[in-house]
DNA sequence: CAAAATACCTAACAACTGTTAGTTAGGTAA
DNA sequence: TTACCTAACTAACAGTTGTTAGGTATTTTG
């Protein structure tokens, strides 16, 4: 039955996403994935040509699921600053909910070759980045929108990525790990800089 | 002679830093390192107990070299905002010059266990982070200094880390990869937010 | 019902992994 | 000369890796 085929294939991909995100490509063996799925290693090769192909299918799957609700926010009829605020809150929430996705992106940044970077940029980030770029221009036509857009993303993502180490750094509080708190801080910083709070 | 011993050991560590930073722990074999050094794999075990130990020695070495000139800047007699500006420019320059260092930190963020996070936080980042925290408080006593300090670091590091992908994103220019340009953007954002430029 | 396709299996392969045992050449101290 | 230390070596180990060939139930199709 097709449902069964699709089902197993999907379970393999879902398991792979989690494993690759957690441990990285080289640290996950074909046997690990097979164990997680509950089949034998050789059976994976019925569904995928090889490990590399399975990995690429996994990141494509993981990345294609994103970028859903965010475009609406960026293109709504609200004033620019409200749209930015909504975007930051929503993006922070989405990113904090999907740790495997964030980790996969980090890993791709480190280990992805030029071709994969291009894929990521054009197929995953393009629409969102372009819309964010336009929004930044709307807020301040004078600024370097490319740099500003990167800055916005960096603020959100880095606070999330540094969660495990911030715990050991001065002044850490529990609330610093909450998505809403991070979003609030980032939006305030973008609006006022460091000087007001 | 001691000089010879220290020399080989140092060459091993230097080679390891580059390889581990570039490819990651699991993707670098003991034979790769030996080849890079110009000795046989077994000879590595005269200088280090095992691969893990060599890796730890490499990151300690790489991390201990930093944090030199930065403390002076943070503790100088200049006004707070000037100190922040100087710090951002210097930090951006240092980070952009030492790519292996940046990559090792990224990898540790992803794969380091709690113990290594603690080591990183307390032995590598502590002094700098605390000083930066104090500087932020000086600039604005009202703000959440922990979050703000992370934000400052995130802005600098993320612009550097995203270099390979920003190339494919809208509005990219060559100058966006230059340390001084990044520092200027970050400092301006921190002072004025997005609104002024 | 027979044939074919599906989705799994067992068993094994060659290559590579970290690591160890044992050896050797050269320098140093008694 | 003898004994020891240093810093490298050769050769091999046991385990893991990605992958393949060939077999086997179950389901679908002609």
Q: What is the CATH number of the domain that holds A117?
A: 1.10.357
- C1' nearest to CA of A7: which nucleotide? C7
pLDDT at B4: 40
B9 occurs within a structural domain: yes
The answer to whether residue A19 is domain-embedded is: yes
pLDDT for the residue A6 = 59
A160 min Cα distance to partner chain B (Å): 11
- Worst-scoring range by mean pLDDT, A1-5, A53-57, A115-119? A1-5
What is the percent of chain A with per-residue pLDDT over 90, rounded to a whole number? Answer: 81
Judge whether A71 is closer than 8 Å to chain B, CB to CB.
no
* A96 and A179 co-located in one domain: yes
CATH code for the domain in which residue B39 is found:
1.10.10.60
Domain match, B9 and B97 both: no
Does residue A143 form part of some domain?
Answer: yes
The spacing between the Cα labelled CA in A46 and the C1' in C9, in angstroms, equals 12
Q: How many Å lie between the alpha carbon of A2 and the closest alpha carbon of chain B?
A: 37
CA distance linking residue A153 with residue B169, whole number of Å: 13
If asked whether residues B144 and B128 sit together in one domain, one would say yes
Residue lying closest to nucleotide D17, CA to C1': A29
Domain residue limits at B52: 2-62
Same domain, A44 and A100: no
Residues B87, B92, B94, B96: what is their CA dihedral angle, to the nearest 10 degrees? 180
- Quote the CA–CA distance of B26 and B35 in Å, as a whole number: 17
A34-49 average pLDDT score: 96
The 8-class DSSP code of residue B113 comes to: -
The two three-digit tokens of residue B67, written as one number: 């944090």
Residue B58 near residue B16 (C-beta atoms within 8 A): yes
Domain assignment present for B92: yes
- Report phi then psi at A141, rounded to 5: -60, -20
Is residue B197 in some structural domain? no
- Lowest-pLDDT range, A94-108, B120-134, B143-157? B120-134
Q: Are residues B52 and B133 in the same domain?
A: no
Q: Which residue of B has its CA nearest to A171?
A: B146
Nearest to B88 by CA among B193, B195, B191: B191
Query: Domain boundary at A61, A89, A111, which?
Result: A61
Q: Angle B111-B112-B118 (CA atoms, 0-180°, nearest 5)?
A: 160
pLDDT of residue A68: 66
Distance in Å from the first CA to the final CA of chain B: 60
Backbone angles phi, psi at B107, to 5 degrees: -65, -40
Q: Find, in chain A, the residue whose alpha carbon is nearest to that of B175.
A: A147
A123 touches chain B (CB under 8 A): no
Q: Note whether B135 and B80 are within 8 A (CB).
A: yes
Residue B3 reports pLDDT greater than 70:
no
Residues A25 and A78 in one domain: no
- Answer yes or no: do A32 and A127 share one domain: no
Picking from B44, B52, B50, the residue whose alpha carbon sits closest to that of residue B12 is B44
> What is the tally of structural domains in chain A?
2
| Number of residues in chain A | 197
Domain identity same for A113 and A162: yes
Residues B81 and B21 in one domain: no
pLDDT of residue B2: 34
Q: What is the mean pLDDT of residues B56-71?
A: 82
How many whole angstroms separate alpha carbon A145 and alpha carbon A136? Answer: 6
Q: Do residue A54 and residue A140 come from a single domain?
A: no
Distance B102 CA to D5 C1' (A): 40
Give the span between the Cα atoms of B79 and B98, in whole angstroms. Answer: 29
Closest CA to B185 of B162, B152, B161: B152
- Rounded to the nearest integer, the mean pLDDT of chain A is 91
Q: Which residue of A has its CA nearest to B153?
A: A158
Instruction: Say how many C-beta atoms besides its own lie within 10 A of residue A150's C-beta.
Output: 26
Which of chain A's residues have a Cβ under 8 Å away from the Cβ of B120? 165, 168
Taking residues A128-149, what's their average pLDDT?
94
Q: Is the same domain home to B93 and B11?
A: no
- B4 CB less than 7 Å from any atom of strand C: no
* Within a domain: B157: yes
Nucleic strand C near CB of residue B66 (< 7 Å):
no
Res B163 pLDDT > 80: yes
Q: Which sign does the torsion angle of CA B126, B132, B133, B134 carry?
A: positive
Of the residues B41, B62, B83, which one is the last residue of a structural domain?
B62
Instruction: Look at residue B5 in the predicted model and tell me its pLDDT.
Output: 40
Same domain, B49 and B119: no
CB-based contacts of A183: which residues, under 8 Å, 6+ apart? A88, A89, A91, A92, A93, A156
Query: Does a structural domain hold residue A197?
Result: no
Under the banding of pLDDT at 50, 70 and 90, the label for residue A67 is: low
Final residue of a structural domain among A61, A82, A104: A61
Q: Do B109 and A162 touch (CB under 8 A)?
A: yes
Q: Which residues of A touch B167 (CB under 8 A)?
A: 117, 121
Q: How much is the pLDDT for A5?
A: 43
Number of C-beta neighbours around residue A127 at 10 A: 14
Would you say residue B185 lies in a domain?
yes
Are A107 and B109 inside 8 Å of each other by CB? no
């Amino acid at each position: 039955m097709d449902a069964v085929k699709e089902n197993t294939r999907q379970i393999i991909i879902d398991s792979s996403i989690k494993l690759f995100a957690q441990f990285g490509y080289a640290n996950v063996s074909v046997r690990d994935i097979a164990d997680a799925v509950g089949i034998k290693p050789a059976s994976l090769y019925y569904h995928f040509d090889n490990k590399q192909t399975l990995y690429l299918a996994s990141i494509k799957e993981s990345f294609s699921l994103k970028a859903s609700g965010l475009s609406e926010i960026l293109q709504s009829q609200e004033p620019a600053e409200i749209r930015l605020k909504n975007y930051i809150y929503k993006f922070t929430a989405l990113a904090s909910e999907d740790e495997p996705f964030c980790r996969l992106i980090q890993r791709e940044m480190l280990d992805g070759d030029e071709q994969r970077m291009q894929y990521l940029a054009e197929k995953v980030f393009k629409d969102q980045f372009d819309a964010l770029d336009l929004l930044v221009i709307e807020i301040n036509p004078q600024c370097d929108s490319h740099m500003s857009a990167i800055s916005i993303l960096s603020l959100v993502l880095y606070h999330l990525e540094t969660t495990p180490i911030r715990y050991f750094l001065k002044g850490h509080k529990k609330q610093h790990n909450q998505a809403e708190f991070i979003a609030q801080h980032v939006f305030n910083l973008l609006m006022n800089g460091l000087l007001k709070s």
